[in-house]
C-alpha cells in the first residue's frame, strides 16, 4: 500500500516536471524567435554597459540604430549596434543626426539582445562624457502655432490644413482593446492561430486607417481644397483621398488598405464614409481581422479654436463583427515637420539565416 502511494507521488511529480519543462521551452522559444517585441528580441531582465566610438547613425523607421566600435578585452574591436525609437519620433523630440557624428564617444546602458552578442536595446546614452539621455527623452517639443491660424477657409468650412500629431496620452481605445470587439463566429475563427509575426506592421505595411492615424505619435499632414481633402499618415505612409464632390460611392472601387472615401460637411463636422478595403486587421496586436466588407464612418470636428481635431469613428463589418465598433481619438496642431515614414526595418539586419 505504501509502495503504491509512493508510485503515485512519483508519477505526479514527473507529470509536474514535464509541464514545467514545456512551459519553460515555450517561454524560451517566444523570447528567441518573437519579432520586434521588447522582451522577445531583448533580455530586459539584464543590463549591459558599453563605451565606444560612433561609426554611423541610421535615423530610420520603425527603429533607429546607432553603430559604434568597442575595444574588447583582447584589444580588438567589436562592432556594436543599439536600437532606439523610431527615427521620426526622435526627430520630433529634438534628436538630430548631428548628435551622432562619427568619432563621438558614447556610453550606453541597455538590455542585451538575445541572438546578437554585440547588440542592445538602448536605455540611456551619453555623448563625450556628458549627462545621460533616456531613450524617450524629449530634447525639444514643438508647440502648436498660435499666430495667424485661420479657423475657416474662404467658403466658411473649417480649416483642416496643417500638420497634426497625437497627444502623448490619447483616448484611442483601439490600443490593447481586443476584448471590446464583438465578433461573429467567422470573426472568431479568423483569430485562431494568429502569431504576432502575421502583423502587417512587422512587414513594413499599414494596418488600418484607425490605429495608424495615432500610432507612436507620428506627425500626419492634411491638405484641403474645395473638392478633395488628402490625409497623409506619418506612420507607414498611408495616403487617403477624401472626395467632397461625390454624392455616393462608385460601383467599381479598386480595394486598398486605405479604402475609398467620400466626405461632406454637417455643420462644422466633416463626415467621411469609406469602403472598398482589402481584408486586414482591426487590431493587429491580437489578431482581430476585418473582411473586405468593412464599412467605416468618421466624424472629424475642430475644437479649441481650430488647434484640436477630434475624430469619432464607427466600423461595421457584417462578416466579422456582430455589432459595430466605436471609438475616438484626438490630434493637436503642431509646428513639427511632417516626416515620411519610408519603413526600413533593420531588426533582422545581422540575424537573418540564424
Domain segments of the chain: what residues? 40-134, 162-334
Closest CA relative to residue 82, chosen from 55, 340, 290: 55
In degrees rounded to 5, what are phi and psi of residue 220? -105, 155
To the question of domain 162-334 being in CATH 3.40.50.720, the answer is: no
Whether 40-134 and 162-334 share one fold: the answer is no
- 336: which residues sit within 8 A by CB, 6+ positions away? 92, 142, 163, 165, 219
Model pLDDT for residues 215-266, shown as the tens digit of each residue? 988 999 999 999 999 999 999 999 999 999 999 999 999 999 999 999 999 9
CB 281 within 8 A of CB 287: yes
Distance CA 9, CA 21 (A): 18
DSSP state of 317: -
What does the pLDDT average to over 19-32?
Answer: 36
Q: Which residue has the higher pLDDT, 353 or 215?
A: 215
pLDDT at 56: 97
pTM summary value: 0.80
Q: How many CB atoms lie within 10 A of CB 49?
A: 11
CA triplet 344, 39, 289: central angle to 5 degrees? 65
Q: Is the dihedral of CA 92, 96, 97, 102 positive or negative?
A: negative
pLDDT at 31: 34
pLDDT at 61: 95
Closest CA relative to residue 317, chosen from 121, 182, 161: 182
In degrees rounded to 5, what are phi and psi of residue 75? 90, 0
Radius of gyration of the chain (CA): 25
For residue 18, pLDDT over 80 is answered with no
pLDDT at 122: 97
- 354: which residues sit within 8 A by CB, 6+ positions away? 115
Closest CA relative to residue 259, chosen from 297, 289, 287: 297
Distance CA 317, CA 294 (A): 5
Exposed/middle/buried for residue 214 (C-beta within 10 Å: 0-12, 13-18, 19+): buried
CATH class of 40-134: mainly beta
Cell matching residue 34: 518573437
Distance CA 110, CA 125 (A): 9
Q: Which residues in 55-88 are b (16+ Cβ under 10 Å) and which e? A: bebbbbbbbbbbbbebeeeeeeeeebbbbbbbbb
| Bridging pattern class, strands 260-266 and 239-243 | parallel
Closest CA relative to residue 177, chosen from 94, 281, 35, 288: 288
Estimate the share of the chain in helix, then strand, then coil, as percent rounded to the nearest 5. 20, 35, 45
Model pLDDT for residues 77-124, shown as the tens digit of each residue? 999 999 999 999 998 889 999 999 999 999 999 999 988 999 999 999
| Bridging pattern class, strands 119-127 and 77-83 | parallel
pLDDT at 257: 94
Dihedral angle computed from the Cα positions of residues 149, 154, 157 and 158, in that order, rounded to the nearest 10 degrees = -10
216: number of CA atoms within 13 Å, CB side?
A: 21
Amino acid at each position: 500500500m505504501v509502495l503504491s502511494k509512493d508510485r503515485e507521488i512519483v508519477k505526479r511529480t514527473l507529470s509536474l516536471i514535464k509541464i514545467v519543462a514545456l512551459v519553460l521551452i515555450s517561454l524560451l522559444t517566444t523570447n528567441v524567435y518573437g519579432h520586434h517585441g521588447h522582451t522577445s528580441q531583448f533580455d530586459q531582465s539584464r543590463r549591459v554597459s558599453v563605451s565606444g566610438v560612433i561609426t554611423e547613425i541610421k535615423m530610420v523607421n520603425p527603429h533607429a540604430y546607432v553603430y559604434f566600435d568597442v575595444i574588447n578585452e583582447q584589444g580588438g574591436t567589436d562592432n556594436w549596434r543599439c536600437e532606439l525609437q523610431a527615427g521620426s519620433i526622435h526627430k520630433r523630440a529634438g534628436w538630430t543626426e548631428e548628435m551622432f557624428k562619427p568619432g563621438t564617444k558614447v556610453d550606453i546602458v541597455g538590455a542585451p539582445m538575445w541572438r546578437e552578442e554585440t547588440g542592445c536595446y538602448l536605455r540611456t546614452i551619453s555623448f563625450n562624457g556628458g549627462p545621460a539621455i533616456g531613450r524617450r527623452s524629449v530634447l525639444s517639443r514643438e508647440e502648436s502655432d498660435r499666430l495667424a491660424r485661420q479657423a475657416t477657409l474662404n467658403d466658411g468650412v473649417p480649416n483642416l490644413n496643417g500638420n497634426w500629431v497625437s497627444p502623448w496620452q490619447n483616448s484611442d481605445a483601439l490600443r490593447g482593446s481586443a476584448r471590446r470587439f464583438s465578433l461573429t463566429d467567422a470573426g472568431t475563427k479568423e483569430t485562431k492561430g494568429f502569431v504576432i509575426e502575421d502583423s502587417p506592421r512587422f512587414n513594413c505595411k499599414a494596418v488600418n486607417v484607425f490605429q495608424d492615424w495615432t500610432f507612436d505619435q507620428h506627425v500626419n499632414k492634411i491638405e484641403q481644397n474645395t473638392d478633395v481633402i488628402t490625409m497623409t499618415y506619418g506612420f507607414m505612409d498611408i495616403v487617403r483621398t477624401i472626395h467632397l464632390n461625390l454624392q455616393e460611392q462608385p460601383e467599381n472601387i479598386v480595394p486598398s488598405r486605405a479604402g475609398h472615401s467620400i466626405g461632406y460637411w454637417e455643420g462644422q463636422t466633416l463626415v467621411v464614409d469609406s469602403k472598398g478595403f482589402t481584408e486586414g486587421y482591426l487590431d493587429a496586436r491580437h489578431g482581430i481581422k476585418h473582411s473586405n466588407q468593412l464599412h467605416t464612418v468618421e466624424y472629424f470636428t475642430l475644437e479649441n479654436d481650430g488647434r484640436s481635431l477630434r475624430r469619432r469613428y464607427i466600423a461595421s463589418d457584417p462578416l466579422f463583427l456582430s455589432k459595430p465598433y466605436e471609438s475616438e481619438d484626438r490630434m493637436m496642431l503642431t509646428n513639427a515637420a511632417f516626416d515620411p515614414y519610408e519603413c526600413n526595418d533593420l531588426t533582422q539586419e545581422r540575424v537573418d539565416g540564424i
